[in-house]
Amino acid sequence: MGSRAAPDSHFDAESFRGNPFFYFACGVAASEVMVDVLTDKIRLSREGILQATGQPLDPVIVRGQIEGAFMQAAGRLTMDELVWPIGGKLLTDSPAACKIPTAADMPKVFNVLSVQPCSNRVEALFQSKGIDETPLLLAIYGHRAIGQALQYTLRSGAADGSRLDTSATPENILTALEGACPVP
């Protein structure tokens, strides 16, 4: 085992100049979801992620990190919910209250592509980049796909809009389908 410290970074807040970060991570995702309006259950059926990874040290581990981080956040946005009674203490305050996605919740099609030659500082270890945080943020695409599917369903029905709160639990989907909340 070994470790390596990043070279000095600097930033002058007054002149707004400098190099505050060692590298920038970026990615994009596309999600396809299925919403059963009779049971209010959702299924993430297809996912595509394009991630700037630089030159990965181990492509298999990088893919696993991307898939795992995405599914962790997708689980938070679709299964987990913070429950606060009025004026009370948080009821879902332990791991026992969390609903964690399993292999059965993975999309049937999960495409991950990495952009390898991408701009990166030459000091980066083998031109690699950290990739854990970006897929966490990309999970919002799945949540938005659910909201768009509900809006499409509602346009063809009596209600005319919805707002899907996080998390996209069956209860929140039912609320959105009933048109209880206006579109933001």
Q: Which of 47, 123, 133, 171 is catalytic?
A: 133
Closest among 178, 164, 171 to 41, alpha carbons compared: 171
On the 0-12 / 13-18 / 19+ scale of CB atoms within 10 A, 157 is exposed
CATH code, domain carrying 61? 3.30.365.10
Q: Which of 75, 58, 63, 61 is nearest to 27 (CA)?
A: 63
12 falls within a domain? no
Q: Average pLDDT, stretch 104-108?
A: 92
57 lies in some domain: yes
Domain that holds residue 35: 23-141
Q: Is residue 121 part of a domain?
A: yes
pLDDT tens digits, 146-181: 888 887 776 655 433 356 777 888 888 887 777 644
- If you ran DSSP here, which 8-state letter would residue 126 be given? G
Q: What is the pTM of this model?
A: 0.77
Residue 123 catalytic? no
Positive or negative torsion for Cα 153, 75, 38, 82: negative
Tell me if 151 is assigned to some domain.
no
Looking at the structure of the chain, the number of domains it has is 1
Question: pLDDT tens digits for 5-55?
Answer: 556 677 888 999 887 776 777 889 999 999 887 887 889 999 999 988 877
Instruction: Report if residue 116 sits inside a domain.
Output: yes
